[in-house]
Amino acid sequence: MTTAGLPPVLPDVTAEIVEALTPRLAKRLDAAVAKLAARPHTVDPASGVHRIAVDEESNVELRPTDGIVTTPDAIHCDCLLSPACVHRAAAATLAPVAVDAVQDMSAEPEPEQESEPRPESGPGAEQNSTEATTGPPAHPEPSPSEQPSTPAHDTTEHTVAAHALWTAAARLLDAGVDGAGAVAQAGLLRAAHIAKVAGLHRPAAAAIRVVNGVRAARGADPAHRTAELADALTELLGIAHALGTSGTDPAATAALRGTARRSYAQAGSLRLYGLFTEPVLTATGHAGCVTWTADADGTLYQVPDIAPGGANRARGVADRAVRLGDTALTHRELSAAGLVVSGATVAEDGRLGAGKAVQAVRAKGADWTEPPLDALWSVPLADQAARARRSPDGLLFLDATLGGVLRERDGESLVAHCQGVTVRLAVAHDDPGLAHRENLTLLASAPGTRVRLIARLVPSTPARVMPLAVRLPSGARHDLGLDRLTRADLPVPTASGGEASPGPLPGTPPPPVHPLRRRVEQSLVAGRRALTLARPDEAPALRRAGLPTAAVLLEALLRAAADRGRDPFGRLAPADLDAFARTWLACARYTQEVTEALGTEAWKA
């Protein structure tokens, strides 16, 4: 649970304030957070101080520096118990988690200078996340050749930090989302801070994504997805385990450590064609948009404008000029126009730098049906899906015929038929300030319509994507997160098609690995103890489906959840949280691999 508009708070600040509470106040913290979330919140425009009214006589203030709360003293309460009151801890818990010293994420410096921290997202992003986010995944897999941007650290320091991350994550997994209150979250934030100080930037960011996911789940955020939180926790536990067992070989831990800053390389001159603009709204309090472009070879480039803010900024920044050279193009205009860039600098993920030496002028754009952009839609779907799984952008270019609405376990989704593949279209972001859901609902009312889509791959089976932009039969292009479609934009229904969408189609059976994945997610939501009530017939069902490894893993997970030894006096000993976390990690990794393999097959016509 977070309150929109509050300034981000550094992880160690939240952890320090929460850890300073007495046991009695710590038990009251979650109730205090819920109470404070409902109280009036104001901002002093002159000083930038955020003020939440605790009651008629007391206020808690957050005093950010450059938009971020960097010290415990910057959170002040004027109640009689301050600074040992619960209100300061509640305010810190309500505020978004700051990933780093917040800078304008569109203002990348020159390549030789330090650039901005990677924003939290996912499709997300992200996702999303990671993460209840939109935008491309913010933390792509670093290559083993990447070197950390900080000096080398002692391996012992890495081991200590990895152990802190593992322990905090295992405790959170034991309690589950339902039991992971502010104190458990603060423990993971403390571990994230320890990891960052030790130079473990990738696992520190993963820990923050987990905290954001837990907060979104506990706050009933409509954009929360349990599967995405499970993937974030899987990444965190996997990295922490690998770092704790990788020995002293620096090369073995280079990819696991990650990098703190994005680096930019010289790219010379670029001729770019606008594709679409995607609104970005992250769980870390950042918002804005990313305009996607492509060159004549089909290489994708991003022009971002992301900074602290909410849904209003995500919608409004699309009408601001792009920060690239002296061009006066807005993001909306660039999405349909072209751009010539000289002295370009490009990050590994395709993000364009905006240093002083970069120059850009407007040029003619191209329709999606014209060269060179039309070549993006000519790549076979299986090849596109394989590229999207490896790429941080995850984009697919689809020629689709809209079908009916399909009833599934998690609700209803729109079906589209693409080159012999039946694809589910899912909502990219559920925030009501963005137009994704209502646009998808309107498209569902026009079955039989042929459209061109740009969508982001959802790693799942059957084939599933999140549509981001559409070209209708009229030739009009729309950004589905920003533009609100009307019935007048869609073709007139034919007599055979009828005016209304057909009723929901029969649902499809879940994938064979679903029983294991369900227990993985169930334990994450309700905690380890929830697995003690699992049905005993699921493992035999997995064996009958030809998945003996899944059956063995499920049996091991249930045993680890129920395993409680006894001390010499016959009393129940504490549960082995390390063993349960290791088994849970093995199950989660297995389901990811099986899902990816099945997803690969799903994109073959």
The verdict on 150 and 253 lying in the same domain is yes
515 against 222, higher pLDDT: 515
Last residue of a domain, one of 338, 363, 388: 363
The verdict on 241 and 283 lying in the same domain is no
Domain count, the chain: 5
Asked if the model's pLDDT at residue 94 lies above 80, the reply is yes
The verdict on 245 and 298 lying in the same domain is no
Q: Which domain holds residue 153?
A: 143-257
Asked if the model's pLDDT at residue 270 lies above 70, the reply is yes
Last residue of a domain, one of 215, 236, 257: 257
The verdict on residue 582 lying in a domain is yes
Q: What percent of the chain has pLDDT over 70?
A: 85
Q: Which residue from 590, 505, 525 is spatially nearest to 555, judged by alpha carbons?
A: 590
CATH value at residue 296: 2.40.50
190-229 pLDDT, tens digit each: 999 999 999 999 999 999 999 999 999 998 887 788 988 9
The dihedral built from the CA positions of residue 62, 122, 478 and 293, taken in this order, carries a sign that is positive
Enter the tokens of residue 600.
């690969």
For 83-174, where are the E strands, in sequence order?
A: 126-129
CA distances (Å), origin 288, targets 212, 297, 398 = 19, 28, 26
460-513 pLDDT, tens digit each: 878 999 999 999 999 999 999 999 999 999 987 654 443 344 445 555 667 788
The verdict on residue 197 lying in a domain is yes
At 245, the pLDDT band (50, 70, 90 cuts) reads confident
List, as one string, the DSSP characters of 264-289: EEEEEEEEEEEEEEEEEE-TTSEEEE
Contact 415, 407 (CB under 8 A): no
Question: Does residue 124 sit in helix, strand or coil?
Answer: coil
The verdict on residue 435 lying in a domain is yes
The verdict on residue 579 lying in a domain is yes
Q: What percent of the chain has pLDDT over 90?
A: 61
Asked if the model's pLDDT at residue 285 lies above 80, the reply is no
The verdict on residue 65 lying in a domain is yes
The verdict on 252 and 277 lying in the same domain is no
At 308, the pLDDT band (50, 70, 90 cuts) reads confident
The verdict on 252 and 176 lying in the same domain is yes
Q: How far apart are CA 389 and CA 365, in angstroms?
A: 28
Asked if the model's pLDDT at residue 573 lies above 80, the reply is no
> What is the model's pLDDT at position 38?
92
Mean pLDDT calculated for residue range 33-42: 93
At 86, the pLDDT band (50, 70, 90 cuts) reads very high
The verdict on residue 496 lying in a domain is no
113-131 pLDDT, tens digit each: 333 333 333 333 433 333 3
Q: Which residue from 308, 320, 307, 294 is spatially nearest to 482, judged by alpha carbons?
A: 320
Last residue of a domain, one of 94, 114, 133: 94
> What is the model's pLDDT at position 246?
61
> What is the model's pLDDT at position 213?
93
The verdict on residue 117 lying in a domain is no
DSSP state for residue 533 in the 8-state scheme: G
The verdict on 532 and 595 lying in the same domain is yes
The verdict on 18 and 89 lying in the same domain is yes
427 against 494, higher pLDDT: 427
Indicate the range of 42-51, 295-304, 508-517, 577-586 predicted with least confidence.
Answer: 508-517
Indicate the range of 98-102, 225-229, 341-345 predicted with least confidence.
Answer: 98-102
Q: How far apart are CA 427 and CA 417, in angstroms?
A: 17
The verdict on 319 and 387 lying in the same domain is no
Contact 121, 133 (CB under 8 A): yes
The verdict on 193 and 226 lying in the same domain is yes
Q: How far apart are CA 161 and CA 208, in angstroms?
A: 15
Indicate the range of 80-84, 335-339, 547-551 predicted with least confidence.
Answer: 80-84
> What is the model's pLDDT at position 493?
60
Contact 168, 190 (CB under 8 A): yes
Question: Does residue 352 sit in helix, strand or coil?
Answer: strand
Helix (H) or strand (E) holding 262: none
DSSP state for residue 572 in the 8-state scheme: B
DSSP state for residue 573 in the 8-state scheme: P
Q: How far apart are CA 380 and CA 77, in angstroms?
A: 60
At 178, the pLDDT band (50, 70, 90 cuts) reads very high
Indicate the range of 15-24, 242-251, 292-301 predicted with least confidence.
Answer: 242-251
DSSP state for residue 143 in the 8-state scheme: P
> What is the model's pLDDT at position 506?
52
The verdict on residue 457 lying in a domain is yes
The verdict on 251 and 273 lying in the same domain is no
The verdict on 303 and 348 lying in the same domain is yes
The verdict on 386 and 478 lying in the same domain is yes
pTM of the model: 0.82
Q: Which residue from 475, 400, 506 is spatially nearest to 443, judged by alpha carbons?
A: 400
Q: How far apart are CA 478 and CA 438, in angstroms?
A: 13
